Amino acid sequence: MSYSQVVSFPQFPQHKALITLFKNVLPETISTIKQQLIQANPKYDYCFLNTKYIISLEQLENSIHKSILNKHNNSMQANTLNTEILLNLSPVNVISDAIKRFGISDDCSNTIVVKVISPDDDTEQIQKDLANLVDGENVAITDEILLELVDVSKFKKVYKLNDAVIAPDVNLQWQLTRLAIGACLLRGY
């Protein structure tokens, strides 16, 4: 059984995002994926993300939405939509830094895979193709699971939130999501 979530955006009915989480991905698989991405293999036309810096589905969906918006407005800073998603997760405007921090990494055995698709695409076939590429445990992606997988201290460091005032009586995940999205919106100003 394949666990994926399809996200649609009302203002972009021609695009949907297929989001899949894999845990315990083998190091050989991660190495192969990285090599294939560098070689621009079309079979690997997905956005592979490191889970250490993704705290919620809202943060991820915000990045995907902004990337689709940038593509629609012909204002993408990256060459591909997949790289644009990585860049829009980053609080800085440096593509290489975004790839290094938010892209698939040897030091993280979990990965979130995003594929922006059209409504006509066969999601079942895409999920099968993805399952053949990623040797790992496919699990449902939820905010609870993302909170377990995120490295909060590294997350705070990347988004420069170590000095942020966090209310003890309010949901930590909710607060950090707001602060991360805000940091990305304000980058470059």
Q: Evaluate whether 44 touches 37 at the Cβ level (below 8 Å).
A: yes
Angstrom distance (rounded) from CA 146 to CA 21: 9
Distance in angstroms between the alpha carbons of the first and the last residue of the chain: 45
pLDDT digits (tens), the chain, 189 positions? 679 999 999 999 999 999 999 999 999 999 999 999 999 999 999 999 999 999 999 999 999 999 999 999 999 999 999 999 999 999 999 999 999 999 999 999 999 999 999 988 999 999 999 999 999 999 999 999 999 999 999 999 999 888 878 888 889 899 999 999 988 888 654
pTM here is 0.93
Q: Evaluate whether 104 touches 112 at the Cβ level (below 8 Å).
A: no
Domain range annotation of the chain: 4-186
- Which CATH superfamily groups domain 4-186? CGI121/TPRKB (3.30.2380.10)
**DSSP label at 78?**
S
* Phi, then psi, of 94 in degrees rounded to 5: -110, 115
